[in-house]
Amino acid sequence: MRARTAPAGWYDGQVAIVTGGGSGIGAALVRSLRTAGATVVVADLEPGADGVKLDVTDAAAVQELVDDVVREHGRLDLLFNNAGISLIGETQDLSLAQWNQIIDVNIRGVVHGVAAAYPVMLRQGGGHLVNTASMGGLMAAGLLTSYVMTKHAVVGLSLALRSEAAAHGVGVTAICPAAVETPILDKGEFGRVRGRDYFLKGQGIRRPLDPDVLAARTLAAVAAGEALVVEPVQSRVAWRLQRIAPGFTQRASVKFVAKQRQLAARRS
């Protein structure tokens, strides 16, 4: 049974860093953590008045931020590797520079966070790493190929590291939501495919997931030591179906891509 809320007081006094904390899922995590009693450092390329400017592709900058937080607060209890980008369109239209960009942000950005924070958590005998992936890290659909690749990597990293970290009192959780109402729905488009069409119309989703609902669910999952946060419930059903009938879901994915191309053609 999945916990829906974190136990009262569980986050009191904990120290957290949230990358990509200036908007979207990251900003929702910041709000939820602060409401729950945590001290939160907001890190983002555009962090706002109370945040720290951070480019997660800069390993030295990520390390410096972690070191600064530990010096100031004496520990780091939670690192949310949340910063990420998407690229939506036909794979043959992706430039090598775009491939490198999404790998640098979505994979190396998480690796930089882990490399900086995990040793700290080992030394202090506890902590939790939370990596934002996606349903794209559990299932695959075309026209989002580079994003799906990177999010599969994040899920793999999280599950593998979790099995090592358990012996040291360190938790690892990956967040795997479907469409969330964030700016990413309207970014990363190239060619004729449109983000909102892809994530909503193409999948028959009436309304994206509220990021604050996802954040609350994530905090409950971290407190409970869960490996994956898969939301909403329809996503969990789809994920189970893929494991039971992969051939069916692959055929559905082919039809999904065809539908997206039809939507794109109507705009041309």
Query: So which residues are the catalytic ones?
Result: 147
CA–CA dist 217, 36 (Å, integer)? 13
If phi > 0 it is left, if psi is from -120 to 50 it is alpha, else beta; for residue 212 that is alpha
Q: Are 190 and 89 in contact (CB under 8 A)?
A: yes
Residue in the block written with tokens 């907001």: 42
Can you point out the beta strands (E) in the chain? 15-19, 39-44, 51-53, 78-81, 127-132, 170-177, 228-231
Q: How far apart are the first and last CA of the chain?
A: 47
CA separation for the pair 102, 95 (Å, rounded):
11
Closest CA to 183 of 101, 110, 85: 85
Provide the β-strand partners of residue 15.
Answer: 39
